[in-house]
Structure formats: C-alpha cells, structure tokens
Structure 1
Amino acid sequence: MPATSTGPLGSTGPTVPATGLDRHLTRTERLDRLPFTSKHRRLLAGSGVGWALDAMDVGLISFVLTALARQWQLSPTEVSWIASIGSLGMAVGATLGGLLADRIGRRQVFALTLLVYGLATGASALAGSVAVLMALRFVVGLGLGSELPVASTLISEYSPAHIRGRVVVGLESFWAIGWILAALIGYFVIPGSADGWRWAMALGVVPALYALVVRATLPESVRFLESKGRYAEAESAVRSFEEPAGVPAPDHAPDAAIDAPVAPTGPVPGLWSSRYRLRTASLWAVWFCVNFSYYGAFIWLPSLLFAQGFDMVKSFEYTLWITLAQLPGYAVSAWLIEAWGRRATLTTFLIGSACAAGAFGMASSVPAILAAGCALSFFNLGAWGALYAVTPEIYPTVMRGTGSGASAGFGRIASILAPLAVPPLKAAGGTGLVFTTFAVAFAIAAFSALGLPELRGKELEEL
C-alpha cells in the first residue's frame, strides 16, 4: 500500500512508493517527494525551540530597557545604543554564520550560536554599567545573527517541496512563542523588584543548555553532506526520514555517490552575478526595510507606551496583548504561502504592515492603540514568515547559507539604525512621524518583493 501522511501543517503528502522503484532519484529528490512525517515534526520542533529562545532574548531587551531607563537614569540616546549594539552584532553574525554554515555545516553553527548568545545573555544579568551591558549585547547579537538564517536553511533543505514554504513559516511562528514568553517575563518578573531585569536576563542562559540538545539530536543537512563527499552520512540522514514513511532502502552501497547531484564544473556564481543580481537586490531591500520597521517599532514599543503616560506594568500588559496577534499572522501566512505563492503572500502582508503602522501612528485611544498594534503584529510577523520561506529558496546549495546570511546581515544594518532613529523622529514629529516612517519602509519592501522569483512547489536549486 502507498504511504501518505497528513501533518499538522495541513497538507497531505504525495504518494510514496512502498517499493524501491524510484532508486534513480537523487537523495534530495527522495526528500522532496516524502509526506510530512513524525521525523519532520521532530526536526521542526527541535529547531523551533531554538528559534523561540532567540525571540525571547530579542523580546526581553525591549522590556529590560524600559526598566533600565528608569533605574539607571538613561538618556534616550543611551537606550538607543543599547538596543542597536545587539543588532550590530547580528549584522556581523548573520554574514559570518552563513559563510560558516556552507563550510562546517548547518547543525554545527546552529549549536555553536545557541551556546554563544545563551552564555552572553546570562552574563548580562551581572552587568553593572552601560559599557559592560553593550559589550555583552554585541556578543549576544553575534550568536543571534548567526543562528536565524542557518536554522531556516536547515529546515528548508529537509522540507518536502510541496509544503516547504509552509514548514519554514511554521518554524518562524516559534518567534511569536518566544516573544510571548518575553512579554510574560516582562509582565511578571521585571516589575517585581529592582533586580527584576537581572532575573529576566538570567533566564536567557537556557539557550546555552539547549545547544547540547541541538548538537546531539538534529540531523545535518543532506545537501551539505553531499557537497563535502560524506555520502554515507547523507544516505543515513535520508533513510531516517524515509523509514517513517515506509520507503525501503535502495539496493546500492550507502556511501555511493550515485544519488548525489552532479558537482558544478565551473566557478560558483556570486550573489551579484548576472544570474542572481535582481533577486539579491530585491531580497536585500526587503530585508533592510522590514528590519528597520520591525526593530524600530517593537524594540521601542513598551518604552513608547510608557512615554505616552501608561505606567510600566500597563505598558507591558498592552505589549503582551499586541504580541499575541503574531500567532494568527503566522497561521494565515503559512496557509497562503502554498495557496497563493511566496511573492503574493509576502507582498500582501507587507502592504498590510504599512497600513497598520500608519494607523498606529494616528491612534490616540487605548482601543485604537491595541487594534492598530495587533494589526501591525499580525501583518508584520506574517511577512517575516514569508520572507524566511523565500530567502533560502532563491540560491543553490553551494551558496544557500552564504546568500541567506548575507541578506540577513544587510538587513541587520537597518535594525542598528532603527532604534537610533526613533528618538530624533519622535522629537521632530511625535509617534505619528515615527510610525509613518515605518509605514513608508514597509511600502518600499512590498514594491521590492515584486523582483523576487516565485518558487512555490519547485525543488531547491542544487547548482
């Protein structure tokens, strides 16, 4: 009997032969034709926990800054630099992480980055000055920036072609879980005492412990293993995904190279070669604008609410409610990305983000603030899900990690500039000017997304 599977992502997989009749397929083609099985679910959950811990760290600093500004009597400029220095580390880390992922492996970099930023976050709890905190936040950023594009690349390379975008959006949805955890910690822990922010940062050491789990349980990318000639390991990894679907083993030696794609004979094309120039420019523009608006809005959100006259606890409460709207945003994006396609979904959510940002800037009452904030969360995080699904798909295996990391690294430049831009924008025109600027950035991102290729249902490019 043919084996099929309906996974939690709402897609019934293609029929998988119960005999070895398709042994001429490459290993990556064998992965692409599989249904969504328990093995995929474990990979998604294992990577997703790391992703959620990343989000928790990014979210925590937005709440910590509100408490620190009051306790340490920080100026808006000092607050901006503490927020931005982590993004500077993320810009460097994203680029280096992508390069390392193409050289030493996706799983190795994933585990290493969790260890780095987990230890640095825990150490931040002991910081006694702005300078020390900024130094540690830079190291945290190195780890965070390296981890995110690597995790999405690993998930993309293992996902069946017919639901690949949906699975990557599923990974990105763990970001909302991490932000919700950060909001809960911010609401219940930080206001509890003068050292509440230190206890919150101490919880950030959890990713360092989870790095051991990642290193021991997650598989290495089959495409990476084949590119390094490690065919026995690649075959073992593929079999671990085929067995739950009832696919028999091929009849050749497990270390054979016959199931690997043909190695490229010429030089590896560059990100700015004629073949990839348009998609690289479009992708970098989207990453830049989305980072600018997201980090400018959400890192400052609790502080902006506090500055509007709400007390710290109430500001944190409103931020928690706004954060909860991220989950349905991911859910809708995950469905649309296979129903509509990558480009249409990304563009739609970016236009929605622009409208929501404009509405938030004009909101004056509590209901209007919450409604516009929830809409911004819904559309912005849905756009993030689509963007992470698109990014690893548009480059071949030999440069997938590098391409993903470079686009994320360029985007992080915007996440450095955005927190620094908020105080002067607010001084010049209030919250309205701040969010109008973010709305314009989202609109530019929506236009730029039109230059990206539509790759729904297509196999990942090998060469």
Structure 2
Amino acid sequence: MSTSARNTTAPLAYENAPLTRFHIRVTIAGTGGQFSDGFILGIIGIVIAAATKSLGLTPLWVGLLGAATLAGLFFGAVLTGPIADRIGRRQIFAWDMLAFAVLSLAQFFVQTPGQLLVLRLLLGLVLGADYVVSKSLVTEHAPVRFRGRLTSLLAVAWAAGYVFAYLIGFLLTDQGGDSWRFMLATSAVPALLVFGFRLGVPEAPLWLSRHGRDTEAAAVVRRHLGPNVLPPTATPATARRGMRALFSPAHRRRTAVGALFYVCQVIPFFALGTFSPQVMEALGVTSKLGAGALYNVFLLAGAIVGLLIIDKISRRLFLIGTFVVGAALLAALTAFADIGGPVVSVGLFTAFAFVLAAAVNLEFVYPPELFPTDLRASGVGIAVAASRIGSAASTFLLPLVASGYGMDVALGGCVVVLVLGALVCWAWAPETGTESLDDIDTRT
C-alpha cells in the first residue's frame, strides 16, 4: 500500500489509482454510522427489558420504541438522497456523527417513554442520512479493484456494532436499575471517535466533476493521490434529475433490484436475529443465551469472510448463491430439527447466520454500483428505505406468525422470501463488479 501515487511513472485514471492510506482513512470514517446503527438496533431489545419498570413501559410503548429507529431510518434515507445528490455528500458526512453522539448522550437523561421515543426517531433520521452519504462517498473515492472490499468494511462495522451491543447488554444487565441508561449512551463513544476522522475527508472528485467543478476535483486528486493520477472528467449533467428518474425506463430495473434484493435479505436477517432466543427455544435448544451468543459470533465471522471474497467472485454469483444456500440451510433447519436434536438445530442456524452475514456485504457494495453519480445517493436512499420497511415488517410479523401457526411456518415464510430474492436477482441483477463508476455515468 502506498501513501500516494506520486511514485507512479505512467498517468493513471482516477479509479485505477493504487490503494493508499487516504482510501483507508475515508473508509474508516465511513464505518461510524454503520457501527452505530448495528449497536442501537442490537441494544434496544435489552434496554426495553431493563427499563420497563423505570419508565413504566406498556406493550404499546415497547412496540413504538422498538420501531422508532427503523421509522427514522426510512425517512432519513428517503429525504437525504436527493439532497446529497444536489449539494454533495461531504457536508452531511462530516457532521452527522456529531449530531448522533449528542442525541445518544441525551438518552441518558430521559425521564419518560415519550422523550426516549423522540430521541430514537431522531437517531434513526441521522443514521438514515449517514447510510446514504457513507455508502456513496466511500464508493466514489474507492479504486475499482478495491471497491468491494472497502465498502464491505462498512458491513463488518455494522456486524461489530450489533455484536458489541449484545456484549454491552450482557455486561451491564445486572449492574443496577439505571444500567439501561449507560447502554444507550455508550453509542456516543464510537461516534465521537469517527467524527474526528471525517472532518478532513473531501468531496468525491467524481461528484465534483459531474457538477462542473473540475478544478476542485483536480485539486482533491492532486492533494491526496499525487500528480500522476488523472482526475475524473465526467460530463456535467445538463439538467438536474430528481428521484423520479429512478423509475424511468432507463433506471427502473436497477432501482427494483436494489430495493428487492435488500428487502429479501433483511426480512429473514432481522426477524431471526431479533428473535433468535425464541427460535432456538422453539427448536428445543435450552441454552438460549448461549445460542444467541453463538449466533452473534457467526454473524461477525460471516461479515469478515464476505469482505474477503467480495472482489474475488462476481456480484451476481454472490447475490444468487447466498440466497440459494441460505434458503437451503433454513429449509433443512425446518425439516430436520426434530430429527437431529439441539446440536443439529444450532449448527444449521449458525451456518445460516454465517451465510446471510456474508451476503450483507452486498447491501453496502451493490446499491451504490447500480446508479450514476447524479442519482447514486437517491438510489441508495430508496434501497435503504425499502429495507427498513422489510425489517420492521419482519420483526412485527414473525412472533405473530410463530404464535398463531408455529415456528416452522414462520421459518418457511423466510425460506420463501430467500427463494424470491434469488429469482429476482437471477432475472434482473446486472454484474457491476468490473464496471467503473465513469462507465455507469456514461451509459446512463
């Protein structure tokens, strides 16, 4: 890895630049929102259980607090996409983690369920915005050969945040009546650490060039990559295209793929992850806490393995293959749990978690590659928003279906969703791993 491209003799196109410390810094800066999202989604169930008496939570408040962040994420992603495409990614990217840290700390002082609900909604809005700008900015700064691995680090950060929430909850649960306040406030720490990395991250040269700001784009490239890397020379957009363009004949198939594959992944991921102890209990596993811990370990391991292979196989193969393998493992879990006993159940369930966590890398890599620069943030926003509808619906419906029809039926529904994801990707998903972002801009 070089600190810059200054020693390169032949001129290099911007997306063919060598991997540098600058690219790593941008990527690390982008991980903050993903870690924070994984943490606050992973911690809320533990917090609700610990704070029920202190805040006097009724079943209605439990449901509202559980869904608040997901609702905020939906609106944050939809609203931020068009704004980031118009004004750029950098300003939102630079400051949203500071806002997140302030809101996280404010949770420590809440006295009523309503106050916590408002803060959870605002946290979701901030994270929805960060999803859009982080994925877009890291993608647009990354060299094409390393784009998948760099954006996959965001997926690993999300999984790490989710696992870290489980560990924090486990350590603090028995530390007194106000332990839940410390659980909530802890998410401010990584946000503040990442905030320092973000202040010096520049706007993506490709976005600058696309908006006719070639001089600024060249200055960014010269400063961070050296004089032998050529700045991008995208043709400036002749007219501003709004979100409506994503549903035009030129883009609607990619918009559909971006949203549908994301939804088909998150429905089983969130449903089974959120209720993993209940799933294990229904399958005859008595050590629910141990099974939940093992599930989380395999989530993190799968995310890391996904990062290692993302640039070694085609995006289409990764998409379709993980849907098929995940469906097969879950179907086997449903069919053979009674025969194989708890050991087989835990083995199949953790293998499923491993495969699906590896596939989650695609949620960070694939959507930004589907859209041209002037629509990228809007397209990612649509995909993220759709995914939050899916995750909210799945966490709401799984316990209802399981209690009314049995866990086997609930698991069977998740198998159907995974098969649907495989079929959608087989029919519509384009291969994007070898495409440069400039090629995507030129074609569309």
How far apart, in 2, do the equivalents of 1:73 and 1:306 lie? 28
Q: 1:45/1:453 Cα in 2 relative to 1: closer, same or farther (>3 Å)?
A: same
In structure 1, the residue corresponding to 2:266 is in which secondary structure? helix
| Structure 1 unaligned blocks of 5 or more | 8-12, 251-257
Name the % identity. 26
The 8 Å contact of residues 107 and 220 in structure 1, kept in 2 or not, is answered as yes
The 8 Å contact of residues 176 and 327 in structure 1, kept in 2 or not, is answered as yes
Q: Equivalent of 1:261, from 234, 248, 264?
A: 234
Q: Deviations over 1:422-449 (max 9, x none)?
A: 2311211233332222222222122212
Which residue matches 1:81?
Answer: 64
Which residue matches 1:336?
Answer: 309
Which residue matches 1:300?
Answer: 275
Q: 1:297 Cα shift?
A: 2.1
In structure 1, the residue corresponding to 2:250 is in which secondary structure? coil
The 8 Å contact of residues 246 and 252 in structure 2, kept in 1 or not, is answered as yes
The 8 Å contact of residues 287 and 411 in structure 1, kept in 2 or not, is answered as yes
Which residue matches 2:74?
Answer: 91
| Structure 2 unaligned blocks of 5 or more | none
Q: Equivalent of 1:453, from 419, 426, 430?
A: 430
Instruction: Tell me which moved more, 300-309 or 185-194.
Output: 300-309
Q: 1:226 Cα shift?
A: 2.4
Which residue matches 1:254?
Answer: none
How far apart, in 2, do the equivalents of 1:447 and 1:59 lie? 30
Q: 1:307/1:114 Cα in 2 relative to 1: closer, same or farther (>3 Å)?
A: farther
Which residue matches 2:328?
Answer: 355
Q: 1:44/1:348 Cα in 2 relative to 1: closer, same or farther (>3 Å)?
A: same
Structure 1 length normalisation: TM-score? 0.83
Q: 1:61/1:317 Cα in 2 relative to 1: closer, same or farther (>3 Å)?
A: farther
Q: Equivalent of 2:385, from 409, 422, 425?
A: 409
Which residue matches 2:203?
Answer: 220
Paired amino acid for 1:81: L
Paired amino acid for 2:306: S
Q: 1:116/1:358 Cα in 2 relative to 1: closer, same or farther (>3 Å)?
A: farther
Which residue matches 1:146?
Answer: 129
How far apart, in 1, do the equivalents of 2:345 and 2:99 lie? 37
The 8 Å contact of residues 336 and 345 in structure 1, kept in 2 or not, is answered as no
Which residue matches 1:39?
Answer: 22
Q: 1:249/1:390 Cα in 2 relative to 1: closer, same or farther (>3 Å)?
A: closer
Which residue matches 1:18?
Answer: 8
Q: 1:65/1:439 Cα in 2 relative to 1: closer, same or farther (>3 Å)?
A: farther
Q: 1:249/1:422 Cα in 2 relative to 1: closer, same or farther (>3 Å)?
A: closer
> Counterparts in 2 of 1:53-72, with a 5 A limit?
53-68=36-51
How far apart, in 2, do the equivalents of 1:304 and 1:72 lie? 28
In the alignment, structure 1 residue 375 sits paired with structure 2 residue 351: yes
Which residue matches 1:462?
Answer: 441
How far apart, in 2, do the equivalents of 1:78 and 1:153 lie? 35
Which residue matches 2:88?
Answer: 105
Instruction: Tell me which moved more, 293-302 or 279-288.
Output: 293-302
Q: 1:50 Cα shift?
A: 3.8
The 8 Å contact of residues 107 and 214 in structure 1, kept in 2 or not, is answered as no
The 8 Å contact of residues 84 and 415 in structure 1, kept in 2 or not, is answered as no
Q: 1:381 Cα shift?
A: 1.6
Q: 1:113/1:445 Cα in 2 relative to 1: closer, same or farther (>3 Å)?
A: farther
In the alignment, structure 1 residue 438 sits paired with structure 2 residue 418: no
Q: Which runs of 4+ in 1 moved over 6 A?
A: 70-73, 306-311
In the alignment, structure 1 residue 157 sits paired with structure 2 residue 140: yes
The 8 Å contact of residues 84 and 417 in structure 1, kept in 2 or not, is answered as no
Q: Deviations over 1:80-108 (max 9, x none)?
A: 43222221111111111222221232222
How far apart, in 2, do the equivalents of 1:216 and 1:304 lie? 43
> Counterparts in 2 of 1:171-320, with a 5 A limit?
171-210=154-193, 212-243=195-226, 248=228, 260-265=233-238, 268=241, 270-302=245-277, 315-320=288-293
Instruction: Tell me which moved more, 365-374 or 346-355.
Output: 365-374
In structure 2, the residue corresponding to 1:325 is in which secondary structure? helix
Q: 1:111/1:375 Cα in 2 relative to 1: closer, same or farther (>3 Å)?
A: farther
Which residue matches 1:394?
Answer: 370
How far apart, in 1, do the equivalents of 2:422 and 2:245 lie? 25
Q: 1:355/1:81 Cα in 2 relative to 1: closer, same or farther (>3 Å)?
A: farther
Q: 1:442/1:308 Cα in 2 relative to 1: closer, same or farther (>3 Å)?
A: closer
Q: Deviations over 1:346-398 (max 9, x none)?
A: 11112223234445556475434432332232111211102321110111111
Structure 2 length normalisation: TM-score? 0.87
Which residue matches 2:107?
Answer: 124
